[in-house]
Amino acid sequence: MSEKKLTIRLYKPGDEQGIINLFKEIFKREMTLEEWQWKYTGRGNKKVYSSVTVNENNQIVAHYGGIPHRMMYQGREVYGLAIGDVMVQPHYREFKLFRELAALVPDEAAIDGFILGYGFPQERLLRLSEKLGLYEKIEDVFEANKEVQFHKNMNRLLYKFFPMTYDDKRIDILWESVKKDFGLSVVRDREYLKWRYEKHPLFSYELWGLRKRWGRRLQGLAVLRKEEDKMLIIDFVVSDNLFSILFQKIENYAFSLGKKNLSLWHPEYLTDKLTELGFSINKTVTCIPRTTHEKGLKKEDLKGKFFYTMGDTDFL
């Protein structure tokens, strides 16, 4: 293979079909144009943060994608890039080529003021990028699981768990009231939830709210997805003092549907809270790394501060 026949560059309009074709070849699943548009331009993004390798036949043989997010970091709004759809045809898998491909997007994002690049790869897939100096592992991703039970206590009467629409203005009010509690998090306002869950081209989700039974103020919310006899807690927003009440309400709802298990992903710092609620905790095969760009946040800025859920991935 001659490197002179390859072009490594940032995304250009018209690359979509080549990226989609490569996705199908590597992951054995069809990515529609609608899905690509939802992921990379779905919130009016005017710039696509992706890089590609193009061969002598003008075929895209490698891709490195980034999804821009508004994020909260230590009480201020910043921009971060979630890395995904990293794929290379086997014939073109060389360290030097991959290093060049993967360096373009963090460089471009840093120019535009992004201070973080991160992802959710399996740890075994991260090793090559670590060896190349492109990524540094921040921490492990944990999964909490619990056999569903019904909670008969006063909270069942004092609080109401109810279905919501993504246009409900109380979502933004709730986010504004709790956002400073997060060391680092994607902004979970109406715009984000509507894009991520209501408009998702593959999966269906349910949005539920928590309020006092005789009040209208939104006290918490949860995004749920049903899977056979399991309920996945895909996302949630709640203040610390109502954490257990929200989870008990979710569990009672799962019980009413005949679900046997609850499951969620969570950062390690929530382990004690979830253990107190009866969840068993295990490491997953997934971890969170950061891109090692010199202008980005460092590992010590991130470890133990990053709030994430299953919803922060692009595959759940």
277/175 same-domain check: yes
> Which residues partner with 55 through β-bridges?
none
21/96 same-domain check: yes
191 is a domain residue: yes
* 74: helix, strand or coil: coil
CB of 184 closer than 8 Å to CB of 239 = no
How far is it, in rounded angstroms, from Cα 138 to Cα 120? 11
Q: Which of 83, 118, 153 is the last residue of a domain?
A: 118
Given a cut of 50, the residues of the chain with pLDDT beneath it are 1-2
176 is a domain residue: yes
CB of 138 closer than 8 Å to CB of 299 = yes
**Quick one: three-class SS letters along 146-170?**
EECCCCCCCHHHHEEEEECCCCCCH
29 is a domain residue: yes
Question: What pLDDT, on the 0 to 100 scale, is given for residue 3?
Answer: 53
224/105 same-domain check: no
289 is a domain residue: no
**Quick one: three-class SS letters along 223-272?**
EEEEECCEEEEEEEEECHHHHHHHHHHHHHHHHHCCCCEEEEEECHHHHH
20/112 same-domain check: yes
How far is it, in rounded angstroms, from Cα 227 to Cα 234? 12
107/224 same-domain check: no
Q: What is the pLDDT of residues 63-79, one digit of tens each?
A: 999 999 999 999 999 99
Query: Domain residues for 37?
Result: 3-118
151/280 same-domain check: yes
87 is a domain residue: yes
Question: What pLDDT, on the 0 to 100 scale, is given for residue 315?
Answer: 85
CB of 235 closer than 8 Å to CB of 222 = yes
Q: What is the pLDDT of residues 23-73, one digit of tens each?
A: 999 999 999 999 999 999 988 888 999 999 999 999 999 999 999 999 999
305 is a domain residue: no
261/189 same-domain check: yes
Q: What is the pLDDT of residues 143-175, one digit of tens each?
A: 999 999 999 999 888 999 999 999 999 999 999
152/278 same-domain check: yes
Q: What residues have CB less than 8 Å from 170, skipping those under 6 apart?
A: 209, 216, 217, 218
Question: What pLDDT, on the 0 to 100 scale, is given for residue 316?
Answer: 86
Report the largest interatomic distance among the alpha carbons of the chain, rounded to a whole angstrom: 71
267/199 same-domain check: yes
Q: What is the CATH number of the domain that holds 205?
A: 3.40.630.30
How far is it, in rounded angstroms, from Cα 135 to Cα 164? 39
87/163 same-domain check: no
pTM above 0.85, yes or no: yes
Number of domains in the chain: 2
CB of 296 closer than 8 Å to CB of 117 = yes
Question: What pLDDT, on the 0 to 100 scale, is given for residue 95?
Answer: 87
208 is a domain residue: yes
306 is a domain residue: no
